[in-house]
Amino acid sequence: MRLPFTFLSLALLSAPAALARYGGGASAYSGLNQAIQRQHEHLDRVKDAYMTASTAHHSHSKRQEGNSSLPFANPAAEPFYVDGTTIPEVNFDAGASWAGLLPISGDPEETKELFFWLWPASNPENADKLLFWTNGGPGCSSMEGFLQENGPFIWNWGQSEPVANPYSWTEFANVVWVEQPVGTGFTQGTPNITNDDELAEQLTGFLGQFIEVFDELQGAEFYLSGESYAGYYVPYIANYIYEHPGLNLNLQGIWIADPSLSYGAVQQDIPALRFVQAHSNVFPFNSSFLESLQNISDACGYTTYLDDYVHYPPDGLLPLVGVQEGSTGTAPECRIFDQITEEIYWLNPVFNIYRVTDTFPNLWSVLGFPRDTQQFIYFNRTDVQDAIHAPHQIWEDCLGPVYVGEDGDQSLPSMLSIMPNVIEKSARTVVVHGLADMILIAEGTRIAIQNMTWAGAQGFQTPIEPESFLVQDDIMGAQGVYGNMHQERNLTYVEFYMSGHMTPQFVPWAAYQTIAYLTGARESPSA
Ligand SMILES: *[C@@H]1O[C@H](CO)[C@@H](O)[C@H](O)[C@H]1NC(C)=O
Ligand SMILES: *[C@@H]1O[C@H](CO)[C@@H](O)[C@H](O)[C@H]1NC(C)=O
Ligand SMILES: *[C@@H]1O[C@H](CO)[C@@H](O)[C@H](O)[C@H]1NC(C)=O
Ligand SMILES: *[C@@H]1O[C@H](CO)[C@@H](O)[C@H](O)[C@H]1NC(C)=O
Ligand SMILES: *[C@@H]1O[C@H](CO)[C@@H](O)[C@H](O)[C@H]1NC(C)=O
Ligand SMILES: *[C@@H]1O[C@H](CO)[C@@H](O)[C@H](O)[C@H]1NC(C)=O
Ligand SMILES: *[C@@H]1O[C@H](CO)[C@@H](O)[C@H](O)[C@H]1NC(C)=O
């Protein structure tokens, strides 16, 4: 049987070669032999998991054969139907799904349309739940999340072909990946928004149109999720839905990963040098450069910031340091993050700010982002566009601008504005952050949480205990301590070891467990 992951077969083939080269068998190399043995055992375990998942996936799609059991039966849904055997490069039946463009309002003259791809819940118990996903940017396509993070099939960096994803979020709900706002991906029309209330109004209008077509979803338990700049989008959409009742979906909570939710000073500059020190093996700066960084850190108030202000509970509002007088932007002489990220590329030309532990070689991506493509950009192919009812147009992972005007998004960061209201109105609010992400640094999210007042108090009242997040994964067997976690007053915060920015891509087992928690499939995010 063909292995679904080419890299696995390569790894298995290379082990005997390594044995031969080192003269396997000599007692001096027994440590090496044992290591190779362990590697074989783990690869077999992983291979079995993916094969099993792939088979299970087929049986799920069987359930939908014949149209009497199609979950979305409204004739208006028919033009959006995607046959899972016709998706280019996907060499198995991925099951039924629905994709295409829908307008942001019922106005027959409406010119603005968003692109979506809807997949039914693979577990029939969750057919009454709807989970929305958006990537960030602003202007980045949710098809990235679909194809490389949490969709039913995955075509990851360096992988030779797409494979069924045993960690697909469709286990927990019907999932809709939406390209939004207008100006992103396949969306149609001219952007006209200047802030995220307007973004939320348009997205909510789209959702109204969407549940008219997929009317089995009317009244569904609803969850919003997203990553990165969706730290603005998702809380603002949730806030809008809570404040403007009318959409017939029952919003229960949100999940945001490595979110943009405070000032750049907070999420990049204040924690930057501590991040470099914590990952000194991948930031091999010389001593004079490190000394100049230390000088900036001392002069700008970064060095003792955590000790001085990030207390549980906090002593009062946290000061914004390193900024220009009368502004919230980092002062030029305090832009330590820019200096670090400029210098590191001289030492490591393939430095990956989205996951700092990556090294040479630089893996290709079929989406051409954040790495180059080898052959084609998947969603830019007309055969792919035809299969999913997308318009024939040039598709790039990140486009834009999506806000009109010189100054971009005019909204305040979510944790400095509407997030408290969202937490108070939601059953569950989950914020996760990968500890190997540098584009947005986890310690900055901690600062933002400690400066936020919700449900009657400011910040967490007791500290985030180290090693408090555990994974127990039945699919590939990942298990044990996997990060740090804290829950208070309906806010859950989880930090994942080893993960870069795109947490469902890098630690799918950990992200999956937190989505199980969000949607009520488990009582705690931690095992
Ligand atoms: C199911 O319905 C879709 C349209 O909704 C149609 O295109 C497809 O051919 C049908 N499949 C079967 C197996 O009848
Ligand atoms: C943007 O355009 C839509 C129509 O596509 C309109 O309904 C809406 O009021 C406009 N929004 C702004 C902020 O101008
Ligand atoms: C030390 O690092 C800085 C920043 O990368 C560089 O400009 C400088 O030339 C380096 N010094 C030496 C002696 O390599
Ligand atoms: C750092 O600051 C110290 C004390 O002001 C100074 O002597 C030193 O030259 C500075 N080092 C760098 C690399 O800027
Ligand atoms: C903390 O919140 C206050 C009030 O919103 C704000 O003025 C201040 O800049 C914030 N500090 C940080 C570090 O974000
Ligand atoms: C995207 O597709 C168009 C034709 O549909 C082609 O001209 C263009 O080169 C493609 N872009 C990339 C980056 O592959
Ligand atoms: C947490 O959410 C539940 C369900 O929405 C609510 O009943 C409870 O009061 C909330 N707890 C706090 C401390 O806000």
- Ligand 3 pocket, 290 CB below 6 A? no
pLDDT at 83 over 90: yes
Q: What is the pLDDT of residue 23?
A: 42
Q: Which of the pair, 137 or 13, is modelled with greater confidence? A: 137
Q: What is the pLDDT of residue 361?
A: 86
pLDDT at 383 over 90: yes
pLDDT at 41 over 90: no
Summarised one tens digit per residue, pLDDT across range 239-290 is 999 999 999 999 999 999 999 999 999 999 999 999 999 999 999 999 999 9
Q: What is the pLDDT of residue 21?
A: 44
Highest mean predicted confidence (pLDDT) among 154-163, 363-372, 381-390: 381-390
Q: How far apart are CA 479 and CA 496, in angstroms?
A: 13
User: Which of 41-45, 93-97, 228-232, 441-445 is least confident?
Assistant: 41-45
CA of 294 to the centre of ligand 7 (A): 44
Q: Coil, strand, or helix at residue 405?
A: coil
Q: Are 496 and 434 in contact (CB under 8 A)?
A: yes
Query: What does the pLDDT average to over 88-93?
Result: 94
What phi and psi, each to the nearest 5 degrees, are found at residue 488?
-150, 140
Share of the chain above pLDDT 70, in %: 90
Query: What does the pLDDT average to over 411-431?
Result: 98
Q: Coil, strand, or helix at residue 379?
A: helix
437 is catalytic: yes
Query: What does the pLDDT average to over 88-115?
Result: 96
DSSP secondary structure letters along 227-260: ETTHHHHHHHHHHHHHHSBTBSSEEEEEEEES--
pLDDT range class, residue 45, cuts 50, 70, 90: confident
Atom 10 (ligand 2): residue with closest C-alpha? 192
pLDDT at 19 over 70: no
pLDDT at 442 over 70: yes
Query: What does the pLDDT average to over 500-519?
Result: 98
- Ligand 2 pocket, 410 CB below 6 A? no
Summarised one tens digit per residue, pLDDT across range 290-339 is 999 999 999 999 999 999 999 999 999 999 999 998 899 999 999 999 99
Nearest atom within ligand 3 for CA of residue 346: 5
Q: How far apart are CA 363 and CA 5, in angstroms?
A: 15
DSSP secondary structure letters along 172-218: TSEEEEEE-STTSTT-BS---BSSHHHHHHHHHHHHHHHHHHSGGGT
pLDDT range class, residue 51, cuts 50, 70, 90: low
Cβ within 8 Å of residue 198, ≥6 positions away: 192
Q: How many CB atoms lie within 10 A of CB 228?
A: 24
Query: CA end-to-end span of the chain, whole Å?
Result: 34
501 is catalytic: yes
pLDDT range class, residue 369, cuts 50, 70, 90: confident
Query: What does the pLDDT average to over 119-125?
Result: 93
Pairing of strands 453-454, 457-458: antiparallel
pLDDT at 33 over 80: no
Query: What are 349's two structure tokens?
Result: 């030309």
pLDDT at 38 over 90: no
- Ligand 6 pocket, 394 CB below 6 A? yes
Q: Are 379 and 390 in contact (CB under 8 A)?
A: yes
Share of the chain above pLDDT 90, in %: 81
Query: What does the pLDDT average to over 468-483?
Result: 94
- Ligand 7 pocket, 490 CB below 6 A? yes
58 is catalytic: no
pLDDT range class, residue 477, cuts 50, 70, 90: confident
Q: What is the pLDDT of residue 39?
A: 77
pLDDT at 193 over 60: yes
Q: How far apart are CA 388 and CA 118, in angstroms?
A: 10
pLDDT at 76 over 80: yes
Chain centroid offset of residue 256 CA: 8
According to DSSP, residue 282 is labeled G
Cβ within 8 Å of residue 107, ≥6 positions away: none
Q: In order of start, what are the domains of the chain with their CATH numbers?
A: 69-260+409-519 (3.40.50.1820), 266-377 (no CATH)
Cβ within 8 Å of residue 150, ≥6 positions away: 133, 165, 167, 168, 169, 175, 504, 508, 511, 515
Could you tell me which of 179, 167, 153 has the C-alpha nearest to residue 516?
167
Cα–Cα distance list, 525 to 373, 493, 500, 509 (Å)? 35, 10, 19, 12
Q: What is the pLDDT of residue 35?
A: 74
Atom 14 (ligand 2): residue with closest C-alpha? 192
Q: How far apart are CA 37 and CA 218, in angstroms?
A: 53
